[in-house]
Amino acid sequence: MYICLEGIDGGGKSTQIKFLSQWLVDSGFKVEEVVEPTDSEIGLLIRKILTSPIATSSNTQRILGLLFAADRLTLMEKIAKFEEEKKIIISDRSFYSSLAYQNPQKWINEINKFAKKPDLVLLLDLDVDSAIKRCSREDEFEKKSFLADVRENYLKLAESDKTTFKIINANNGPNKVKSDIKKAVAPLFGICIDGIE
Ligand code: TYD
């Protein structure tokens, strides 16, 4: 099972990933975490480009689209191995980040056709003003209009694939977000949700 957390920057993905992973381990499952961009050479190059003032220009976005697709492929053998070992994979971002951040979508789909798609996407949906307040970095990817478009793209993706996507309201406090995540994930693993607050 390949579960991915998605959303605009500032939604609290890393905190929730730590929590979800621990909760599943405590419930008796084997769990592995992965992160995109990775720490491969390609991932390092991506991180460098993300801090550039032209990171959101359309040409740089195309370059990033290709780099993210390549970086993602560096994870595929690892993911296949974890699946063989019957582990739950929890990923910080996935192919769906490319669909939401880069475009056009048809091209993103094409260049990612060898990437495995997550079975479940937990979309931590946050309003853009709160996202900006919560962001630590000040870079082009955290400009209001850019984030507003990305958020819109995520919501459209979620609307068009309700089986894969579960929207979690990330404007709520971390404890409510935690219990909403539990409720979204529990049925997949036969965990009883009665006791979940
Ligand atoms: P990161 O510092 O990991 O941000 P966060 O903690 O919010 O995930 O940087 C990842 C950035 O890269 C983030 O702004 C989203 C962006 N991104 C894309 O634009 N396309 C992609 O395919 C992926 C995986 C990430």
Task: Write out the residue range of the structural domain in which residue 31 sits.
Answer: 2-184
Q: Domain for residue 191, yes or no?
A: no
The residue nearest atom 8 of ligand 1, judged by CA position, is: 9
Distance in Å, CA 175 to ligand 1 centroid: 24
Q: What angle do CA 172, 183, 134 make, to 5 degrees?
A: 25
Count of the separate structural domains present in the chain: 1
Q: How does pLDDT run along the chain (197 residues), one tens digit per residue?
A: 999 999 998 888 999 999 999 999 999 999 999 999 999 999 999 999 999 999 999 999 999 999 999 999 999 999 999 999 999 999 999 999 999 999 899 999 999 999 999 999 999 999 999 988 887 666 667 688 899 999 999 999 999 999 999 999 999 989 999 999 999 999 998 888 776 76
* Share in percent of the chain as helix, strand, coil (round to 5): 55, 15, 30
Q: Domain for residue 71, yes or no?
A: yes
DSSP code at position 194: T
Atom of ligand 1 nearest to the CA of 14: 6
> Would you say 7 and 92 are in contact if contact means Cβ atoms under 8 Å apart?
no
Q: Domain for residue 195, yes or no?
A: no
Q: Domain for residue 180, yes or no?
A: yes
Pocket of ligand 1 (CB under 6 A): 9, 13, 36-37, 50, 64, 68, 93, 97-98, 101-102, 141
